[in-house]
Amino acid sequence: MMTDKHRQAEEMRDEVPSTVARSDDKAVRTYKKTLEAAEETYGDGERAHRTAYASLKHTHEKVGDHWEPKEHQGPSDPQAAQGAPASQQRPRPTAQGVDANASKGHLDQVARRVGIDNPQDLGRDELVRAIEKANARATARARKR
């Protein structure tokens, strides 16, 4: 028997980006509900979608072609930590959903899961960039299916 939250997430899957649709129910609900609220404030455009992703990145991290719950909630990179309006006035590079604030050990584990060999030999910044690239490749493959 499906719970109400699961049923709600299933109904939303067709209305969210593919990486979110391949994720757990909480990721789907978080993205969609934030998007709806942001559209009321900012209209149906890029800013509303950026807001929805920002909210999702506080609870989830990108692993391969989908989002998974983070060990600890909070901003995933310096851009996310700024919040609005500072993030618009002084944009900084994002980690594309990688939890750049996670421990090196956690990043090593994620790297192994996405196919990066010998992640322990990489520095923290190199590791984050390598995971970003591996995630992008996995997402591209998933979209071709």
Q: What pLDDT is recorded for position 78?
A: 79
Q: What is the pLDDT of residue 2?
A: 67
| Full domain range(s) for residue 103 | 4-144
Q: What tens digit of pLDDT does each residue of 43-62 get?
A: 999 999 999 999 999 999 99
pLDDT beneath 70: ranges in the chain = 1-2, 83-88
Q: What pLDDT is attached to residue 24?
A: 97
Q: Provide the pLDDT for residue 86.
A: 64
Give the whole-angstrom CA distance, residue 46 versus residue 40: 13
Give how many domains the chain has, as a whole number: 1
Q: Tell me, what's the pLDDT at 87? A: 65
pLDDT, residue 3, reads: 84
